[in-house]
Structure 1
Amino acid sequence: MHQKLLKSAHYIELGSYQYWPVLVPRGIRLYTYEQIPVSLKDNPYITDGYRAYLPSRLCIKSLFILSNETVNIWSHLLGFFLFFTLGIYDMTSVLPSASASREDFVICSICLFCFQVCMLCSVGYHLFSCHRSEKTCRRWMALDYAGISIGILGCYVSGVFYAFYCNNYWRQVYLITVLAMILAVFFAQIHPNYLTQQWQRLRSIIFCSVSGYGVIPTLHWVWLNGGIGAPIVQDFAPRVVVMYVIALLAFLFYISKVPERTTKLPRIKPPNMAHPCSSDVILVASVDSLHDHVLESGVKLQGVCVTSLASHLDRVTDLKIGIDWHKAVQLSTRQVPT
């Protein structure tokens, strides 16, 4: 058995530092940066471990090998299972124990479903980005963008619903506005030039605008609740600020290509590996930790027309916006062939 495994081992060069045996299923080869198609050439500082020219069957098999997409694939896949588990927990335990209304069940379901779709679309893109058909790669990239839009929609639906729980007019205004923005993004994605290099800056502007729009209802919510000095604002506003700061730091990591630009370690790193670690993984873990903390503490704020359940969902949503905002910026700045 040991001899058989050794025969299936391929040696790939790790940034000219050493050779490392990697068990690879037959038919899957790992390439260097110079050998891959233009559509995969995103980060020249990642020199090895690329999958390329694979049929669908081998793309799926590559899920279980060490490549420079391993962390991207598994971080999003584990994120999907995290939100799936939280969904079951909320539906079977949290909401019934809080005597939640049907509205609460619907909003919570929409929120978590959107997050799961976002994660699965990213899994699909990172898994099939090495497909031998460029047309298939582009389709998965388009699905990834669509997943990001759906994830952002889930953030806004739950956040706006509970932030303006007592103000039905403004709740409807912001929900309709957000829905219109997401639909506009979907229509933009249909344009044949959307995935081209010429639209790279426009993609960045679109997703940053949709994500940054959340500042407007946040400031409005602060004003409606009595300004910065109000207890509820002091409790929630810092969380929103921290979320945007983390998202900004994640974006800076991405555009500066740190740490892969400066590291002296072998560069068998997943593209943007630092970025799932600095945003997706950290924020998903924060969501899970905050989820338990809020449920245990049972926060109830005086003078505010929200329940502890609403507080829980709002905080979870605020943090998740950071995940999808960074993902939007990260994906929108990808290099794509003209």
Structure 2
Amino acid sequence: MLSLKLPRLFNIDEVPQVFHERGILFGYRHPQSSAAACLLSLFQLTNETLNIWTHLLPFWFFAWRFVTVLCMTDIWNDSYSWPMLVYMCTSCVYPLASSCAHTFSSMSKNARHICYFLDYGAVNLFSLGSAIAYSAYTFPDVLVRSAFRDYYVALAVFNTSLSTGLSCYSRFLEVHKPRLSKVLRILAFAYPYLWDSLPIFYRLFLFPGVSAQNEAVLHHQRHMAMTLLATLLYSTHLPERLAPGRFDYIGHSHQLFHVCVIVATHMQTEAILLDKALRREWLLAVSQPLSFPQIAAALLLCLLFSLANIIYFSAALYRTSDAELRKRET
């Protein structure tokens, strides 16, 4: 009878410091796992298993919603819907990239960093997708024909490059300056989010306008609340920081962070879909939809800048590793 032997798990003292997670004492995978062992860990309870599944399952849900909307849209003639399709596509990319990063992050020290570099790039692509959808559907009335809206997406592209570079750089500080590393990474993600959300903040708290006073407002508020909760969980390492070892497998902050991010994305999607439907007539009457060249150029620049950052910092990893090896030999 065939039996499947699962890989042995390790405690925090048995893996290199770069793999350590604050407050997580047990359930670590081998720091030089094979790709097959990483895939097998999807079905073994480790301290990463739920990190993987809390984004892998939502990926299929978001993909199903994207395909459903795509099938109901006249892609070639309905340019008004293009920003929504771009947003929904990017909302599928980041959960898939995150689940892959958590799956294969135990292959080696450098592989761990590169996996998360790619994860950060996907998150920033989603940030740009959000900005494109916000520009098309959610701007308050008073800002629809403003210079701010004209340059909003272009600056969002710049923000994605800055955020990807800063978040990748923060990983080089994890071992020797963990607090600074965490602060830089939070800032790297908070800044693009705040920029993307400026039209929402203006709409909710200052001047929504007649066409913007609709049912989508409640979903925007819920999205902001869940994003704030996700940020608190990510930055505070609660609850595992208060009881190290108690939440290693189920209930630690990164799992809860993933759940909050997915719920926030769902709320954001509902808000954008409502704005798109309820404000269509007014928006088409007072403004022009983003053109295909504008959307394509923004996405292409984001991808190029992000890949350039990922390649540069990946190469820096190997240069650093080679320098450390030569230092040990001498």
Q: TM-score, normalised by structure 2?
A: 0.70
Q: Cα distance 1:79–1:135, how it changes in 2: closer, same or farther (>3 A)?
A: same
Out of 269, 276, 283, the residue aligned to residue 250 of structure 2 is 269
Structure showing the higher helix proportion among its residues? 2
* Percent identical residues: 19
Is it true that 1:147 corresponds to 2:127 in the alignment? Answer: no
Distance in structure 1 (CA, Å) of the matches to 2:274 and 2:207: 24
Is it true that 1:218 corresponds to 2:193 in the alignment? Answer: no
Q: Cα distance 1:143–1:92, how it changes in 2: closer, same or farther (>3 A)?
A: same
Q: Cα distance 1:216–1:300, how it changes in 2: closer, same or farther (>3 A)?
A: closer
> 2:40 maps to what in 1?
61
Distance in structure 1 (CA, Å) of the matches to 2:9 and 2:167: 31
Distance in structure 1 (CA, Å) of the matches to 2:149 and 2:41: 45
> 2:230 maps to what in 1?
250
Tell me the secondary structure at the aligned position of residue 278 of structure 2. Answer: coil
Shift of 1:152: 0.8
Is it true that 1:163 corresponds to 2:144 in the alignment? Answer: no
Q: Cα distance 1:104–1:71, how it changes in 2: closer, same or farther (>3 A)?
A: farther
Further displaced range: 247-256 or 260-269: 260-269
Gaps of 5+ in 2: 286-319, 322-330
> 2:86 maps to what in 1?
110
> 1:36 maps to what in 2?
15
> 1:14 maps to what in 2?
none
Distance in structure 2 (CA, Å) of the matches to 1:206 and 1:188: 6
Shift of 1:141: 1.4
> 1:51 maps to what in 2?
29
Shift of 1:154: 1.0
Out of 73, 81, 85, the residue aligned to residue 64 of structure 2 is 85
Tell me the secondary structure at the aligned position of residue 268 of structure 1. Answer: coil
> 2:159 maps to what in 1?
181
Deviations 1:158-203 (A, max 9, x none): 1112235953854331111111221333454676x65323561333
Gaps of 5+ in 1: 9-23, 308-336
Q: Cα distance 1:188–1:257, how it changes in 2: closer, same or farther (>3 A)?
A: closer
Tell me the secondary structure at the aligned position of residue 243 of structure 1. Answer: helix
Q: Cα distance 1:107–1:71, how it changes in 2: closer, same or farther (>3 A)?
A: same
Q: TM-score, normalised by structure 1?
A: 0.68
Q: Which stretches of structure 1, 4 residues or longer, exceed 6 Å deviation after superposition?
A: none
Distance in structure 1 (CA, Å) of the matches to 2:195 and 2:247: 40
Shift of 1:254: 3.1
| Residue type of the alignment partner of 2:84 | C
| Residue type of the alignment partner of 1:196 | L
| Residue type of the alignment partner of 1:174 | Y
Distance in structure 2 (CA, Å) of the matches to 1:251 and 1:266: 19
- RMSD over aligned Cα, in angstroms? 3.8
Tell me the secondary structure at the aligned position of residue 239 of structure 2. Answer: coil
> 2:306 maps to what in 1?
none
Distance in structure 2 (CA, Å) of the matches to 1:39 and 1:85: 36
Is it true that 1:121 corresponds to 2:103 in the alignment? Answer: no
Out of 181, 186, 202, the residue aligned to residue 204 of structure 1 is 186
Structure showing the higher strand proportion among its residues? 1
Q: Cα distance 1:269–1:32, how it changes in 2: closer, same or farther (>3 A)?
A: farther
> 2:261 maps to what in 1?
280
CA contact (8 A) 1:258 1:274 kept: no
Deviations 1:274-305 (A, max 9, x none): 3223x0343355467x48x959xx96359832
Q: How does 1:232-247 map to 2 (within 5 A)?
A: 232-233=212-213, 235-247=215-227
Distance in structure 2 (CA, Å) of the matches to 1:254 and 1:178: 23
| Residue type of the alignment partner of 2:235 | I
Distance in structure 1 (CA, Å) of the matches to 2:207 and 2:268: 26
CA contact (8 A) 2:47 2:248 kept: no
CA contact (8 A) 2:90 2:125 kept: yes
